[in-house]
Structure 1
Amino acid sequence: MQPTFRLGLIINPLAGLGGSVALKGSDNVAEEALRLGAIPKATDRMRQALDVIMPYAEKLQIITAAGSMGQTLVEEMGFPVSCCYQPAENTTAEDTCKVASIILAQKPDLLLFAGGDGTARDIFRVVDDGFPVLGVPAGVKIHSGVYGITPHASGMVLKMLLDGQLVSLMQADVMDIDEVAFRAGTVRAKRYGEMTVPAAPRYIQSVKMGGREVDELVLADIAAEVIEHMEDERYIMGSGSTVAAIMEELGLDNTLLGVDLVQDRQLIGRDLNASELLAATDGFPVKLVITLIGGQGHILGRGNQQLSPELIRRIGKDNIIIVATKTKLKALAGKPLIVDSGDPALDAELSGYFRIITGYRDYVMYQVANPDLAE
């Protein structure tokens, strides 16, 4: 008889709340995010990961906390579950640390958690550096290298383990940023240490590359190309320094780490959240200008959750304009661009080759292809 795989599981139910409502994080702003209409999604992100291993339910024993931190979802999905902790009604970072400590004392084979960089830091506080963990991405800003590239990818790593594949372990950085500075437009990242994760480069994300592009001439060329072809549509201008260069060339105020709206080369909406973007584009032809996160390759789902699946479908694949320097693309070493919209069906629809604007009348064809969806 095959031995049972003991899986520790933690959901941070507040993770990612600030994304869709343009708060650029969830630390200490959960109440404000909920007031603005944010919908908790961390449980759904964990569900996407566990869906992959549903056929292995008989091989599993899941150890988790009560309620929204894990037990409700696990029981609903039909997995064998052992509840080890009763969190407060309004969970905090201390609940994450406490339940992690209790789970680790029961010696599971791996600790799976859903959250963002703050959650990874909480887990890091209590886990031994040699104990294997795996994150399911559910936060707004995910700089750490301990997460799957998508929730489904995290599930694929678990599937490899349950299939008995030989999976090595590696050290990955735990990173986080100052959210107060982030909301003011400054990225101030700090490395807190390392945790051990399964070595599955196809499915585990890289640590985000920090810093602004330094090649101003290339950015100016990219900006000139985009502006020259701007028509009457409304243009959603995504976050990041490459898009910021376009806004600077237009002479418009820019939300470096937010999403703005432009029409007739004029700013008509600044730092919009998901519901505001839907309202502002209803009934209008619209295009989306976005760039990739250096080192990771994500174009959706990292720091731009304002771009909801409903909005992306309204825009349409053909109206998505991707801009990037060749330096950023080369740094991916052939890895595809990744979409993690929160809707796996949409992620699959967006796969394929895109024409990337890399300069003035200069383009490359590059693939969008979540590796985990190719299975």
Structure 2
Amino acid sequence: MKLRIGLLINPLAGLGGSRALKGSDGAQVREIAAQADAEAVTRAEQRALKALAMLPADGVEILAWGGVMGERACREAGLSCRVVGAAKAGLSDAADTRAAATALGAEQIDLLLFAGGDGTARDIYDAVGERLPVLGIPAGVKMHSGVFAVSPEAAGELLRQLVQGGLVGLQLHEVRDIDEEAFRHDVVKSRFYGDMLVPGEGRFLQHTKVGGRESEELVAAEIADWVVEQMDPRTCYLVGPGSTTAAIMERLGLPNTLLGVDAVRDGQLLASDADEATLLQLLASHDGPAQIIVTAIGGQGHIFGRGNQQFSPAVIRAVGVGRICIVAGKGKIAALEGRPLLVDTNDPALDRDLCGYREVVTGYEDRILYRVATYDRQEESE
């Protein structure tokens, strides 16, 4: 008996990340998609391929939505599939996702595998609720929900274990989404939509994004004081999103994009809410060293690959893997309960280079060594 998988890809997922659009909903992303090469492989397809490549062809039966919403990636991965339906002509939208999920769910599949972000998860929840096990391949800009694997490879490994008869439990995990318009104005309005059934064991699934409970303002202020005192006027600093990094900008007396990337040198703001292209231009024209300052997402532990895709592999390499400053309060680190900080840049070679023990600034003159890993290196790092 084969594992019957329904495959659904949101081809627009993740398009807004490197462009600092805070998500992939809205007119701007649709304009970008409309101008793109129709035959180009999207970020979502690329990440779906990584998961599909790990599946044993003789152990799965795949039912896919047509074209770029599943069929093309399946064929590219060398897997046969039965096409259940297809989206209307032109760019797909939320209604297409819901229609596809509904149709695939009616085909007596064992599991619905989808590639997208929180918006895609929300649309699938509207279609199937708790009736059907689902598993998300993380491909969006913001992924605060608990229905996603920690990486595409983790999704593939989890499905392979299912095919091989592994004991994989079923649990209810939260679907959450953020108001993107408010998000673009540095206001986080996270809404709980419901729970979906997800197969998975600890290291494969990401945790729901949560906020801190300690006195974060005081901790962030202490971290900011220390980081700013160490700043070199010749260095270009790329300050990532988050309240901890926002405290650094506040300490510098500069305007801050809470949920974006700002560039600073010698106390001056070089760029605000910069996208990937702007960061690469800045780095190319900058005559001197650069440094990335990032914090970890509470609950999940991701430092790259969630909400900060402006830090693309090209940007990280241009700065240098040894030129990354991680800042996080000890309460946030302790809440991981020993799990490592995670990287998911969509570049396996770069992810491997980022793994290992790294210094984390946790307060004023207070630093710790802590593990950074990809999903498949969590056990190696323990």
Task: Tell me, yes or no, whether TM beats 0.5.
Answer: yes
Tell me if 1:116 matches 2:117: yes
Counterparts of 1:179 and 1:290 in 2: how far apart (Å)?
21
- Checking the alignment, whether the CA contact within 8 Å between 1:352 and 1:368 is kept in structure 2 is yes
2:343 to 339, 345, 349: 339
In structure 2, what residue type is equivalent to 1:275?
A
In structure 2, what residue type is equivalent to 1:8?
G
1:54-133 alignment runs, 5 A limit: 56-88=56-88, 89-133=90-134
Matched residue, 2:374 = 370
- Checking the alignment, whether the CA contact within 8 Å between 1:292 and 1:337 is kept in structure 2 is yes
TM-score scaled by structure 1?
A: 0.95
Counterparts of 1:282 and 1:214 in 2: how far apart (Å)?
39
TM-score scaled by structure 2?
A: 0.94
Counterparts of 1:209 and 1:36 in 2: how far apart (Å)?
36
- Cα deviation, 1:62-115, whole Å, max 9, x if unaligned, reads 101111001111112211200011212211111111111111111111110000
Deviation at 1:214, TM superposition (A): 3.7
In structure 2, what residue type is equivalent to 1:371?
Y
Matched residue, 1:179 = 180
1:289 match: secondary structure: strand
Counterparts of 1:83 and 1:157 in 2: how far apart (Å)?
24
Deviation at 1:305, TM superposition (A): 0.6
In structure 2, what residue type is equivalent to 1:201?
G
1:1-375 alignment runs, 5 A limit: 3-29=1-27, 30-34=29-33, 40-53=42-55, 56-88=56-88, 89-210=90-211, 214-231=215-232, 232-282=234-284, 284=286, 285-373=289-377
Counterparts of 1:36 and 1:233 in 2: how far apart (Å)?
36
- Cα deviation, 1:262-289, whole Å, max 9, x if unaligned, reads 0012111111000110000115321000
Deviation at 1:371, TM superposition (A): 2.8
In structure 1, what residue type is equivalent to 2:244?
T
2:53 match: secondary structure: helix
- Checking the alignment, whether the CA contact within 8 Å between 2:340 and 2:378 is kept in structure 1 is no
Counterparts of 2:34 and 2:213 in 1: how far apart (Å)?
33
Counterparts of 2:170 and 2:238 in 1: how far apart (Å)?
41
CA change 1:212–1:13 in 2 (3 A) is: farther
In structure 2, what residue type is equivalent to 1:210?
G
- Cα deviation, 1:16-73, whole Å, max 9, x if unaligned, reads 11111011011123224448989831000101111222xx111111101111001111
In the alignment of these two chains, the number of paired residues is 371
- Checking the alignment, whether the CA contact within 8 Å between 1:118 and 1:176 is kept in structure 2 is yes
Deviation at 1:356, TM superposition (A): 0.2
- Cα deviation, 1:318-356, whole Å, max 9, x if unaligned, reads 100000000100011111001111112211111001100
In structure 2, what residue type is equivalent to 1:4?
K
Counterparts of 1:36 and 1:360 in 2: how far apart (Å)?
48
Equivalent pairs: percent with the same residue? 49
Deviation at 1:128, TM superposition (A): 4.2
2:325 match: secondary structure: strand
CA change 1:256–1:37 in 2 (3 A) is: farther
Counterparts of 1:294 and 1:366 in 2: how far apart (Å)?
15
In structure 2, what residue type is equivalent to 1:194?
D
- Checking the alignment, whether the CA contact within 8 Å between 2:34 and 2:91 is kept in structure 1 is no
- Checking the alignment, whether the CA contact within 8 Å between 1:60 and 1:80 is kept in structure 2 is no
In structure 2, what residue type is equivalent to 1:324?
A
Counterparts of 1:36 and 1:277 in 2: how far apart (Å)?
22
CA change 1:339–1:16 in 2 (3 A) is: same
Counterparts of 1:92 and 1:321 in 2: how far apart (Å)?
38
Deviation at 1:216, TM superposition (A): 2.4
Deviation at 1:213, TM superposition (A): 6.8
Counterparts of 1:84 and 1:147 in 2: how far apart (Å)?
24
In structure 2, what residue type is equivalent to 1:179?
E
Structure 2 unaligned blocks of 5 or more? none
- Checking the alignment, whether the CA contact within 8 Å between 1:213 and 1:241 is kept in structure 2 is no
Structure 1 unaligned blocks of 5 or more? none
- Cα deviation, 1:206-238, whole Å, max 9, x if unaligned, reads 110137974322211101111111111100000
